[in-house]
C-alpha cells in the first residue's frame, strides 16, 4: 500500500504517467515497486518512463538516444555512433568493487570493500545524480525466454545509449517479470551517467566514477560513467552476481563461449564451451570458419534430463572489440559491420558519415570526429599522448542473429547439450597444442591450471605467467576451493560428463617461432570433436590424451588443405618434462595459499608430477616424443 501511495504522488507531480504506473502495477511485484521507489527518490530524475516489451516502447528508446545526441546516425541504414568520455574508455578496475559484509569471505583476486562503507559512499554520490534527466525502467532476461536457465534483470538508467545497447544484447523481459508471480528472484542494476557536458554529451565527474557489486542484494550500483563495460551491469558485473548464485545452488556460471562444431564429411553438430583469458584465442575459436556460434562470452550450465550438461548464452548480442576486424581475417563480422542493420559503433573515427577503426584494412582519413572530438592526424592530448584515429578499445554492439554463422539454437529455452569443454592459455614453452583430460576431475584440473603470458601489448615484462582458473579469476566472488568443488559436484550430477580439452595456440620452438599456424586451431577443435564421438584413438600420457599423427595429418588435409609433416607433429607434441614440472610447482605454490582446495586437485597434481619424474628417470632425458609414450 505504501508504494501505491508513493507512485500516486509521482503521478500528481507529473514525474510519471498513469499509463506507466499501470505497467508497474501489472507486474504484481512489491520488490520491483520498492526498488523503483527507492532509487527514484534517491536519484531525483525529472521524468520516469517504464519500458515494456512493446515495439513502440523499444523504438522510443532507440529514437530518443539519437534525438538527445547520445548516438548519431551514420551513412549506412541502421548504424549509429556513440562516444564515451576520452577518460571513460575501458573497464575501471580500480573503482569496480565487490561489497562484502564484515566477516564474510573476501576473494584475494578482486577488489573488495566493506559493504556498509561502500553503500554509504555510492549512495551519497548517487543522491541527485539523475537531476534534469529521464529515468528509464527496463526489464530484461539473462538467458532465453521461458527457460529454466533465465534470470530476470531489472534496470534503471538515465542513459538511452545504455538502454539501446541492452536491447541489442539481451532479451526483453517485461513479460518474464509478470510470470515471476511476485518473486524477488531477479538481479537489479542502477546506473546513471551523472552530470553531462559537451556535444555529444559525456560524463563530467569521472573522478566520482563508481561501479559497486552488492552480492547480498543481487544488484549493481554504477554512476558517473558511460562506457558499456562500466555501465551495462548485465554483462561482466552480472557475471559476478551469477557466479555467487550458481555456486550456492547446483549449477555453473562460466566465462564460456558456446560453439557448434561441424566436421567436414559428417552430418552433425557437436556443442562445445570454452574459456580463454584475454588475448589467448577465445573469439577466434568461437568464430572458427564453417562452425556455428551460440555465444561468445558468458554461459549458464545446468544438468539436464538427457544426462548432459546444457548451456545457454545469457546474451543475444555481441559487445565486441572492433580493432583489427577486417574483411580478410573476420569476413563474417566484417560483412555484418558494413551492411545495413541495427548496430552501434563506439569510439571510432567518423568522416562523412562513415566509420573507421584501427586495423580495418582500409586507409582512414586524416581528419574527422572521434572519441577526443574534432580530430586531426598527429594531434596529442593535454598529456602529450598521441590521439589515435580510433580508440584501441573501440567497440561494436550487434545482434548475434545478424551474423551468418549464428546457430538458431541461440534462442532454445533448453539450451544445447555440451559434449566438450576447451580451456586455453598463452604458453610459449610447456603445453602441447591440444590435450584431452583423462576424466572429469582431471578436466577440472586442466581448467584450474590455465596460465597466460604477458605480451608486448601489456605494460611490464614480457612472458610473465598469470594463472587464471577457468579464465574466471577476475570475477570469482566465492572461495576458489568452493568453486572447484562445485565443478566436481556438477559433473557427478551428469550421466554424460563433457570431455575436457586443454589448448595452446602459442607454443614456440627452440628458434622462438610459433609452432602453430593461425588456422591450425580448427584442426585441434575438429580432433576434439571426433574424440567425443569415438572417431579417433589417442596416446595416453601423464598429462592426458594426445592425438595420433595420422589422424592430424588427415584432418589438416581435409579441413585446411594443408600438408602436416611428421617433424611438425614431433615438435608440437613432445613432452617437455622440466617445463611441465615447473608448471606444476607454480600451481602447487598458488593453490597452497588457498583454503580448502579439494583433495582431487592435489591427487591429480601429485600423480602427474610422479608420473613425469618416473618418465624422466626411465628415458634419462628431458623431452619425450609421442612414440616413446607407448613404451610406458
- From 43, 141, 280, 497, the catalytic residue: 280
- Cβ neighbours around 569 below 10 Å, total: 21
Which stretches within 300-448 are classed as H helix?
331-337, 440-448
Can you tell me the distance from the alpha carbon of 338 to that of 54, in angstroms, rounded to the nearest whole number? 28
Closest CA to 468 of 453, 481, 456: 453
CB atoms within 10 A of CB 357: 28
Which helix (H) or strand (E) segment holds residue 48: the answer is strand 47-50
Q: What is the DSSP letter of 53?
A: S
Identify the bridge partners of residue 96 per DSSP, sorted by sequence position. 211
Cα–Cα distance for residue pair 180/339, rounded to 1 Å: 39
Q: Long-range contacts for 20-24 (Cβ within 8 Å, ≥24 apart)? A: 20/48, 20/49, 20/50, 20/137, 21/50, 23/50, 23/52, 23/174, 24/50, 24/137
142: DSSP letter: E
User: Of 305, 249, 239, 319, whose CA–CA distance to 275 is shortest?
Assistant: 239
Helix, strand, coil abundance in the chain, percent, nearest 5: 35, 25, 40
Active site residue 43: no
CA distance 183 to 32: 9
349-351/623-624 β-pairing: unpaired
Pairing type for strands 196-197 and 202-203 reads antiparallel
| Cα 367 to Cα 72: distance, rounded to the nearest angstrom | 18
- Alpha-carbon distance of 192 to 125, in angstroms, equals 10
Query: In this structure, are residues 203 and 161 in contact, taking their beta carbons and an 8 Å threshold?
Result: no
Triad 410, 283, 173: Cα angle to 5° = 35
Q: Are 448 and 520 in contact (CB under 8 A)?
A: no
Strands 186-192 and 151-157, how do they pair? parallel
Residue 329 is given by DSSP the state T
Host H or E run for residue 301: strand 299-303
- Please give the biggest Cα pair distance in the chain: 87
What residues contact residue 630 under an 8 Å CB cut-off, 6+ apart? Answer: 539
Catalytic residue positions? Answer: 280
Amino acid at each position: 500500500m505504501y508504494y501505491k501511495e508513493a507512485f500516486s504522488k509521482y503521478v500528481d507531480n507529473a514525474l510519471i504517467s498513469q499509463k506507466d504506473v499501470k505497467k508497474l502495477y501489472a507486474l504484481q511485484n512489491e520488490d520491483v515497486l520498492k526498488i523503483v521507489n527507492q532509487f527514484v527518490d534517491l536519484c531525483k530524475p525529472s521524468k520516469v518512463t517504464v519500458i515494456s516489451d512493446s515495439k513502440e516502447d523499444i523504438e522510443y528508446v532507440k529514437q530518443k538516444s539519437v534525438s538527445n545526441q547520445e548516438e548519431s546516425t551514420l551513412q549506412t541504414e541502421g548504424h549509429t555512433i556513440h562516444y564515451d568520455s576520452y577518460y571513460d574508455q575501458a573497464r575501471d578496475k580500480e573503482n569496480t568493487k565487490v561489497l562484502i559484509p564484515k566477516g564474510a569471505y573476501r576473494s584475494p583476486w578482486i577488489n573488495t570493500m566493506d559493504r556498509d562503507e561502500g553503500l554509504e559512499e555510492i549512495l551519497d554520490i548517487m543522491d541527485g545524480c539523475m537531476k534534469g534527466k529521464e529515468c528509464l525502467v527496463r526489464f530484461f532476461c539473462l538467458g532465453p525466454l521461458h527457460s529454466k536457465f533465465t534470470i530476470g534483470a531489472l534496470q534503471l538508467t538515465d542513459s538511452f545509449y545504455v538502454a539501446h545497447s541492452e536491447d541489442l544484447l539481451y532479451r526483453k523481459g517485461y513479460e518474464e517479470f509478470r510470470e515471476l508471480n511476485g518473486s524477488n528472484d531477479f538481479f537489479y542494476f542502477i546506473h546513471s551517467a551523472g552530470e553531462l557536458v559537451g556535444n555529444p554529451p559525456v560524463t563530467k565527474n569521472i573522478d566520482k566514477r563508481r561501479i559497486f557489486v552488492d552480492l547480498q542484494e543481487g544488484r549493481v550500483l554504477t554512476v558517473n560513467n558511460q562506457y558499456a563495460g562500466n555501465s551495462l551491469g548485465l554483462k561482466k558485473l552480472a557475471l559476478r552476481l551469477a557466479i555467487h548464485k550458481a555456486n550456492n545452488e547446483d549449477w555453473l556460471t562460466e566465462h564460456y563461449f558456446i560453439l557448434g562444431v561441424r566436421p567436414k564429411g559428417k552430418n552433425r553438430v557437436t556443442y562445445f564451451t570454452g574459456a580463454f583469458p584475454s588475448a589467448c584465442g577465445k573469439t577466434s575459436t568461437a568464430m572458427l570458419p564453417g562452425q556455428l556460434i551460440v555465444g561468445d562470452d558468458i554461459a549458464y550450465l545446468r544438468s539436464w534430463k538427457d544426462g548432459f550438461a546444457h548451456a545457454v548464452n545469457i546474451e543475444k548480442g555481441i559487445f565486441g572489440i572492433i580493432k583489427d576486424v577486417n574483411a580478410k581475417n573476420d569476413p563474417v563480422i566484417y560483412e555484418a559491420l558494413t551492411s545495413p542493420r541495427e548496430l552501434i559503433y563506439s569510439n571510432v573515427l567518423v568522416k562523412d558519415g562513415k566509420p573507421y577503426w584501427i586495423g580495418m584494412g582500409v586507409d582512414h582519413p586524416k581528419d574527422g570526429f572521434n572519441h577526443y572530438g574534432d580530430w586531426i592526424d598527429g594531434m596529442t592530448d593535454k598529456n602529450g599522448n598521441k590521439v589515435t584515429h580510433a580508440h584501441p578499445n573501440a567497440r561494436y554492439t550487434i545482434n548475434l542473429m545478424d551474423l551468418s554463422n549464428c546457430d538458431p539454437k541461440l534462442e532454445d529455452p533448453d539450451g544445447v547439450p555440451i559434449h566438450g569443454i576447451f580451456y586455453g592459455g598463452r604458453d610459449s614453452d610447456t603445453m602441447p597444442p591440444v590435450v584431452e583430460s583423462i576424466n572429469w576431475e582431471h578436466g577440472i584440473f586442466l581448467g584450474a591450471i590455465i596460465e597466460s603470458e604477458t605480451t608486448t601489448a601489456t605494460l611490464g615484462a614480457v612472458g610473465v605467467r598469470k594463472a587464471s582458473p577457468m579464465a574466471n579469476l577476475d570475477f570469482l566472488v566465492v572461495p576458489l576451493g568452493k568453486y572447484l568443488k562445485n565443478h566436481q559436484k556438477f559433473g557427478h550430477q551428469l550421466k554424460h560428463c563433457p570431455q575436457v580439452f586443454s589448448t595452446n595456440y602459442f607454443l614456440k620452438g627452440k628458434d622462438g617461432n610459433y609452432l602453430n599456424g593461425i588456422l591450425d586451431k580448427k584442426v585441434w577443435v575438429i580432433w576434439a570433436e571426433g574424440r567425443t564421438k569415438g572417431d579417433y584413438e589417442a596416446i595416453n600420457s601423464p598429462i592426458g590424451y594426445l592425438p595420433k599423427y595420422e589422424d592430424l595429418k588427415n584432418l589438416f588435409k581435409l579441413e585446411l588443405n594443408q600438408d602436416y609433416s611428421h617433424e611438425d607433429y614431433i615438435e608440437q607434441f613432445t613432452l617437455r618434462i622440466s617445463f611441465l614440472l615447473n608448471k606444476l610447482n607454480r600451481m602447487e605454490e598458488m593453490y597452497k595459499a588457498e583454503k580448502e582446495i579439494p583433495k582431487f586437485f592435489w591427487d591429480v597434481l601429485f600423480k602427474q608430477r610422479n608420473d613425469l619424474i618416473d618418465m624422466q628417470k626411465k628415458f634419462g632425458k628431458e623431452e619425450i616424443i609421442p612414440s616413446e609414450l607407448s613404451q610406458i
